[in-house]
Structure 1
Amino acid sequence: MPSFDPTRCLYACRHGESLGNIARADAEKRGLAEVVCAYRDADLPLTATGHAQAAWLGRRLAQLPPAQRPVRLICSPYRRALETADAIIRHAYANSRVAFSLDARLRPKAFGVLEGLTRRGVRERFPELAAERERVGRFHFRPPGGESRADVVQRVGDFLAQLRSRHGGEPVLLVTHQIVVNAVGHLLLDDEGDALATDDDGWVPNARLYAFGAAPVPAAQEVEAA
């Protein structure tokens, strides 16, 4: 693997466990067509477990040597990411300062007409879209009103290019979503282990920290599981 320089890197984490994660897992397990949840996707809060995971991650970051600790947090504007970032800041930077900003390009993938549906729901209500997804592959499939994985990769790529030009060389932490962590890996790694190159979901555990080295080819390193 390429060399990893922990003093010059990009960190990324998925938010802590949210009510949406619990609701979707329950709907899939019960074979429902829809995910039953009272919140809009952008407003989904963390569960008690999610808050504990985020606090743990903040304490983990606080243990890093000063040269390795992120000096800037850039966060998705979605509530579950914001709550995760808040816990990280409170536990990792209680006695110091860290720059913080939001960037909409770190939001999750938009599913359009398929929003809130389980795998069964997609097959039953939009069989033609399910067939199209199988035909073109999940990387290029774009549901009406939504995004493809390729669309997410493009916006994340734009974000990373801007990040390099503005904050090159300083450790930065992205507090974001599973698809964005996978997109960062897709853009910065070779094909080995590239989740978006397959049709699987590219599972990223909640509140797990990943680090992407700076040179010569960025390497992903899982820091520790929550």
Structure 2
Amino acid sequence: MTTNMFAVSPACHPRHAFALASRVAGGNDCTRKSGLGKGSHARFGTRRAASGHTPLQFQVGDSSLSSRRKASHRPGARMHHPHDQRRFLRGSGQHFPHSDQESLGLFSGDGKRRVVKPERIIIVRHGESLGNRDESTYVHVPDWKIPLTKKGFGEGQKAGEKIKEYIGDKPLFIYTSPYLRTKQTLAGMVEAFDTNYIVGVREEPRLTEQQFGNFQNLATIVNSKAERARFGRFYYRFPQGESGLDVYNRATSFIATMFRDFANESIARDDLNVIIVTHGLTLRLLVMRWFQYSIADFEETLNPENGSFVVMERKEKEDTDSRFFKDVSAERRDLRHW
């Protein structure tokens, strides 16, 4: 049984999703739902801390991220497939019956299902693409079909290794933009993980890059970016494309869906780690929306580097503030290199 809230269909079990990571997504059902394609990477910077959020801490991750633990990983490990999808797939390949869910904190005292905040949310920017290297690529290749460079795929592998060092062997759920370069980035990343711990993968169209128009003229690209700088990057709308505000609204909708997913018994667990593989501007607007930064704050930011990632960690003790997450990434001045 599949639902709109993360249930992983038998056809798209992580075992199959992992197999798809070595090739470009085709037209079958599993490919469309898993969203994996050929290889890729990611890297990033940050911004200002907003006042009062509650349970996640916001950190900047990059290639210099230190290892918290050495966690073993078994390449090529087989996935165990639960017969009852309503039961949660454990990292070990086991699953728990419904009777165990109350002890896991999936229900509040009155029996109502509650949001189970993940241990971490990690947002990754894709690795270097051909478009990053040469903007003329956009003239003859649709944006969503632009692949990674060899360097970009290596960046994806490195991001996966650093994230694996950081989180160890924990249940993992992954969202990815359906663009080729993000799916290739994810394919490179998952090489670092024991696939027993991948609960599921979802291709999420709301995580796509800002739409800059269809096939683009190089002179138009240059002129539009100059005009955007004068007009304001948040409100400027590209011809036949989107404004930053449009992407912000997509991010808002995605975050709402993600919180519904956190109440879904198919994945809900206190030690869950979530990875979101997306694009530079979309990453910035996700963080802006999450921590309720102002438009003026956004205007000061720049795209993170390819292959960078942001780590948001759950706070173990909630504040009186009603919001779920808190940005504790040092001072605003340390976050301007976004």
Fold shared per TM-score above 0.5 = yes
2:253 matches 1:158? yes
The question of whether the paired residues in 2 share the 8 Å contact of 1:109 and 1:147 is answered with yes
Paired letter, 1:165: R
TM-score by length of 1: 0.75
Q: 5+ unaligned residues in a row in structure 2: which ranges?
A: 1-48, 59-117, 264-269, 316-323, 331-338
Q: Tell which deviates more after alignment, 114-123 or 184-193.
A: 114-123
CA gap 1:15/1:59 in 2 versus in 1, 3 angstroms: same
Q: 5+ unaligned residues in a row in structure 1: which ranges?
A: 25-33, 124-128
2:277 alignment counterpart = 175
2:148 matches 1:40? no
Alignment map for 1:39-118 (pairs within 5 Å):
39-66=141-168, 69=170, 71-94=172-195, 96-112=197-213, 115=216, 117=218
Distance in 1 (alpha carbons) for counterparts of 2:134 and 2:197 = 37
CA gap 1:142/1:207 in 2 versus in 1, 3 angstroms: same
Distance in 2 (alpha carbons) for counterparts of 1:219 and 1:194 = 18
CA gap 1:36/1:160 in 2 versus in 1, 3 angstroms: closer
Distance in 1 (alpha carbons) for counterparts of 2:303 and 2:194 = 29
CA gap 1:120/1:178 in 2 versus in 1, 3 angstroms: closer
Distance in 2 (alpha carbons) for counterparts of 1:173 and 1:65 = 11
**1:84-136 Cα distance to aligned partner (Å, 9 max, x none):** 0111112223564341110100000011279453677426xxxxx966x4664
1:211 alignment counterpart = 311
2:141 matches 1:12? no
The question of whether the paired residues in 2 share the 8 Å contact of 1:186 and 1:194 is answered with no
Paired letter, 1:211: V
CA gap 1:218/1:117 in 2 versus in 1, 3 angstroms: farther
**1:6-64 Cα distance to aligned partner (Å, 9 max, x none):** 8623210110111110002xxxxxxxxx5576532111111111111111111112213
The question of whether the paired residues in 1 share the 8 Å contact of 2:156 and 2:186 is answered with yes
For the aligned residue pairs, the C-alpha RMSD in angstroms reads: 3.3
Paired letter, 2:310: Y
The question of whether the paired residues in 1 share the 8 Å contact of 2:237 and 2:243 is answered with yes
Structure 1 residue 181 displacement after superposition? 0.6
Q: Which has the higher helix share?
A: 1
Count of aligned pairs between the two proteins: 204
Q: 1:112 is paired with a residue of what secondary structure?
A: coil
Q: 1:64 is paired with a residue of what secondary structure?
A: helix
Q: 2:123 is paired with a residue of what secondary structure?
A: strand
The question of whether the paired residues in 1 share the 8 Å contact of 2:172 and 2:197 is answered with no
The question of whether the paired residues in 2 share the 8 Å contact of 1:182 and 1:194 is answered with no
The question of whether the paired residues in 2 share the 8 Å contact of 1:85 and 1:175 is answered with yes
User: Kindly, what percent of the aligned residue pairs are identical?
Assistant: 24
